Amino acid sequence: MVLDAYTTLATTETDPHRALTRLQDAIEIDPYNADLHHRAATILTQIGDYTAADRLIDRYNRRLTTAGLDTTSHHHAPP
């Protein structure tokens, strides 16, 4: 699966910015994938970009709401 390839690339990437890019590419393919969003938000938090992490999760939750999907189990808490 294509998403698995992106996730593997992101997981094995030593540069967090490159890992984030891989995850962002995967999110474009599957914009409803909770795991991808949370992985990306975690990296953003780890590199200190808390605002971007919050915006990413907020956009994701809005996307779910617009699609009529439940957002209650999709909250991100920084590590």
Phi-psi category of residue 68: left, alpha or beta, with phi > 0 → left and psi -120 to 50 → alpha = left
The domain ranges of the chain are 2-66
Q: Which CATH number, 3.40.190.10, 3.30.750.24, 3.30.530.20, 1.25.40.10, labels domain 2-66?
A: 1.25.40.10
Angle between helices 16-29 and 34-46 (to 10 degrees): 160
Q: Which two tokens stand for residue 47?
A: 């590199």
pLDDT in tens, 14-43: 999 999 999 999 999 999 999 999 999 999
**What is the Cα Rg of the chain in Å?**
12
Q: Lowest-confidence range among 2-16, 42-56, 60-74?
A: 60-74
- Does residue 75 carry a pLDDT above 80? no
CA distances from 68 to 18, 37, 62, 65, 72 (A): 32, 18, 10, 5, 12
> Which pTM was predicted?
0.84
